[in-house]
Structure 1
């Protein structure tokens, strides 16, 4: 689990106008912390460190140390609101983390072993990744940054489902708790569709014969 620390301050000036003024000041991002037994708390997050953290994929599946006016809270990112066309975050939602309670969030899937996969190397297989992330549930201490999918031994024509994933101890795939009908496919390896060569030559010959036939009838 990566270690991220963000500095923030309590935000007392509320409302859309206040949020716009805060963003225009170009130093902080309006946000809120909620969850647990405490009341929701509007805050303003330091923009520079926040934007830098957003560049890291692991930030979205990590416990964040949020320093609010010097008081530490552990949170995870629950939602981000973005500007419709500018590369700006207009608001952030953080969920408080309780070490004794499980949390549910999405983590990325990282495919490994492609270089060693005979179905791709030797049999012209093509990888199709059908899911880029999965929803998991676990205690904060067991939260993985991502899950790995090793395809080094996957055969041509095979499809891997959620039930084929290896997850760390203490981690549950949420979809599988809803029954077998939710055992969704996450990737497959199929024979690559190749155009060209004999196929195109055959088409050209067919086209040529048709053209010649048309000429004979004139």
Structure 2
């Protein structure tokens, strides 16, 4: 689990106008914390460290230490609202986490082993990744940044399902708790489809002649024969 720390302050000036003024100052991002037994709390997150953290994939599947007016608080990112065309985050939602209670998060799948795969490198296999992330449940201390899928030994025609994933101790895949019918495919390897072009017969001048033209020519010959 990666380690991220953000600095924030309680936000008392509320409303759309206040949020716009905060964003216009370009130093903080309006946000809210909710969950647990405490009431939802509007906050403002320091922009520089927040934007830097957003560049890393692991940030979205990590427990974050939020220093709220100097007091540390454990949270996870639940939602981001972004500007429709500018590279700006207009609002962020954080959820409080309790070390003694499991949390449900979506974590990315990292596929490895492509360079060692005989199916791909030697037998014209084509990799199809059918899922990019998986929903898991675990205690905050057991939350992984991602789940790894090794395809080095897969053969053409092979399919991996959620039940084939190797997960760390204390981690469960939420979808599998609903029964075997929810054991969805996440990876498969198929034979590459190579498009072949059939050569066309050329006429005496070297130009290709279509089947329709051939048929018309044959009919013309038949008509001449009938006239004779």
The TM tier, using the shorter chain, reads over 0.9
Q: Deviations over 1:39-84 (max 9, x none)?
A: 1111000111101100000000011110111110011101111112
The question of 1:186 aligning with 2:183 is answered: no
Q: Deviations over 1:95-145 (max 9, x none)?
A: 111110000010000000011111111110111111110000000111000
The question of 1:177 aligning with 2:174 is answered: no
What are the equivalent positions in structure 2 for 1:1-20 lying under 5 Å apart? 1-20=1-20
Q: CA deviation at 1:205?
A: 4.5
Q: What's 1:200 paired with?
A: 197
Is there any run of 5+ residues in structure 2 with no aligned partner, and where? 203-207, 221-228
Using the TM superposition, name which of 35-44 and 138-147 deviates more.
Answer: 35-44
Q: What's 1:151 paired with?
A: 151
Tell me which structure has the larger Cα radius of gyration: 2
Q: CA deviation at 1:214?
A: 3.8
Task: State the SS of the aligned residue for 1:181.
Answer: helix
Distance change (3 Å), C-alpha of 1:35 and 1:112: same
Task: State the SS of the aligned residue for 2:198.
Answer: helix
Is there any run of 5+ residues in structure 1 with no aligned partner, and where? none
RMSD: 1.5
1-structure distance, mates of 2:85, 2:73: 32
Task: State the SS of the aligned residue for 1:200.
Answer: coil
Task: State the SS of the aligned residue for 1:98.
Answer: coil
Q: CA deviation at 1:208?
A: 3.9
Q: What's 2:138 paired with?
A: 138
2-structure distance, mates of 1:52, 1:215: 71
Task: State the SS of the aligned residue for 1:12.
Answer: coil
Q: CA deviation at 1:6?
A: 0.5
Distance change (3 Å), C-alpha of 1:209 and 1:90: closer
1-structure distance, mates of 2:17, 2:114: 51
Count of residue pairs the alignment pairs up: 214
The question of 1:108 aligning with 2:108 is answered: yes
2-structure distance, mates of 1:58, 1:146: 7
1-structure distance, mates of 2:216, 2:22: 74
In the superposition, the TM-score normalised over structure 2's length comes to 0.89
Q: What's 2:41 paired with?
A: 41
